[in-house]
Amino acid sequence: MGKKRREIPTFENPIIETHCHLDYLKEEELKDVLSKTLAHNIEKIITISVAPNNLQPVLELAQTHSNIYCTQGIHPHEAKDWSDEVEKRIRENLKDESVVAVGEIGLDFYYNKSVKDIQIEVFKKQLELAIEFEMPVVIHTREADEETIEILKEYAPKMKYKGVVHSFTSGQELAKCAIDLGFYLGFNGIITFNNAQNVRDVLELCPLERVLLETDAPFLTPVPYRGKENAPYYLPFVAEKVAEVKNCELDLVLKTCYQNSMDCFLL
């Protein structure tokens, strides 16, 4: 018999799931995931778009559930699929009240699934949309710290609302730059992984007032549930780890991160 996993805790203070991909969940029915998520006092969920073919599905999820919000944007992996038609659809969808950010946008020079120059061009175009529509952004960056810093320094001063560098795994220079420019940093199950001391070091340095909680479900399931598909209801483990790393009361983490989420996404 394997060791029994600790049950998922439920806290009095509500949590906001700031980054997941509900349309990618496979192991459970969505209604069951949402029911369990609410049962663990995760009050609001932001589900993220990444590609032309899921702009509409995430929007429909948000339109049909009062506690779900969404984003509209093209991930750097899919930057090669950017077109005038895609931009037109994003522009139209950004007008919907359930859309709270432009994202997931950014740069990924680790996988390079789209050519670097195209990634940069599409990232900038979507930052321009955020400026035009006065919306925050959800940024993905991997192995692209230097370019991300350069682009954020150029565009952030023109942005009424900034947003979040999600699933933060980058270096301390990018962390400091993003925080100084007014962005939040998103932390998820990675902070519970044994080999992620670099991420915990950034979290330790990041002011609690700039921390957002996320899962990035169905990816990056936190300990002690690694190996299972991730879901928003695992967020309490992320919150607990933030409190441990920051050496502060869990209640303070929950209250502060809740308010951070409301402020970041204008909820």
Q: Tell me which residues of the chain have a pLDDT lower than 50.
A: 1-2
Q: What's the confidence (pLDDT) of residue 70?
A: 98
Q: What's the confidence (pLDDT) of residue 168?
A: 98
Q: What's the confidence (pLDDT) of residue 1?
A: 39
CA distance 257 to 2: 34
CA distance 46 to 59: 11
Retrieve residue 70's tokens: 């969404």
Q: What's the confidence (pLDDT) of residue 215?
A: 98
Retrieve residue 17's tokens: 């799931």
Strand ranges inside 87-237, DSSP E: 99-108, 137-142, 163-165, 184-187, 211-213
> Who contacts 67 (Cβ-Cβ below 8 Å, separation ≥6)?
38, 43, 44, 45
Nearest to 127 by CA among 100, 146, 108, 106: 106
Q: What's the confidence (pLDDT) of residue 5?
A: 87
Q: What's the confidence (pLDDT) of residue 150?
A: 98
| pLDDT tens digit sequence for 152-203 | 999 999 999 999 999 999 999 999 999 999 999 999 999 999 999 999 999 9
| pLDDT tens digit sequence for 243-252 | 999 999 999 9
> Who contacts 86 (Cβ-Cβ below 8 Å, separation ≥6)?
52, 55, 74
Q: What's the confidence (pLDDT) of residue 120?
A: 98
Q: What's the confidence (pLDDT) of residue 3?
A: 56
Q: pTM, whole model, 2 decimals?
A: 0.97
54 CB burial (10 A radius; 0-12, 13-18, 19+): buried
